[in-house]
Structure 1
Amino acid sequence: MLNWFGTFYAVASVGMLTGFRHTRKPGVLVPLLPLTFIFGYQVDMAYGNKLLRIKHEAENIIKFESELLDLPMNLPTLSTIDMARQVQHDRLLMHSAEPPLYY
């Protein structure tokens, strides 16, 4: 990803600088600022320690904040899934205009 974005960043930068040289309008250089931040992020991800920081943060969440990993109402059991399917099926039968073809 860094190779692709780095090439795009270089070509876009040269284009913006050339456009600024010809028009002398500073608005031509405005897209260079966010592109620089994105390029810096890609470099940090590739050559910096971004992946190591992400790994350490994930380990801290698993170790010290495991409640963030739980589903809001706990894991559904097979019986609760079957019960919900049966309720949905019963509601469909009660509200349908025609009798069902299967049973």
Structure 2
Amino acid sequence: MLPKIKSKAFIRLLPQIFELREQGYSYEEVTAILEKDYGLVLSIKQFSVYLARYKNSHMSKVEKQIETSQDPIKSDSSTNDYVFGSPEHKAAVQKETEELFRSNQNVGLR
């Protein structure tokens, strides 16, 4: 298998690899399973390099998916109750802007 094909196959199999590792399988055992069940032939060194390379990127993607599925819209503003561009929305934005402007007027160079 070519290196790019191997890495793509490895990425595709990451969930199964993590599951095997959580079950207590060693690198040697996981590489043997990958070869036997999926035809992915990797040395122990290749396996450890791929795992180190793709582990963090896979975890960050999973975390992002979890965040977006739990809270798709994050906003600290109180204006999210209004339809964008409506008179209520404009008034809320104006009020928030005035409050922020007033609070920043006391800060200055002396």
Structure 1 and Structure 2 fold alike (TM over 0.5): no
Tell me the TM-score normalized by structure 1: 0.32
Query: Which one scores higher on RCO, CA 8 angstroms, separation ≥ 6?
Result: 1
Tell me the TM-score normalized by structure 2: 0.30
Instruction: Look at both structures and tell me which one has the larger radius of gyration over its CA atoms.
Output: 1
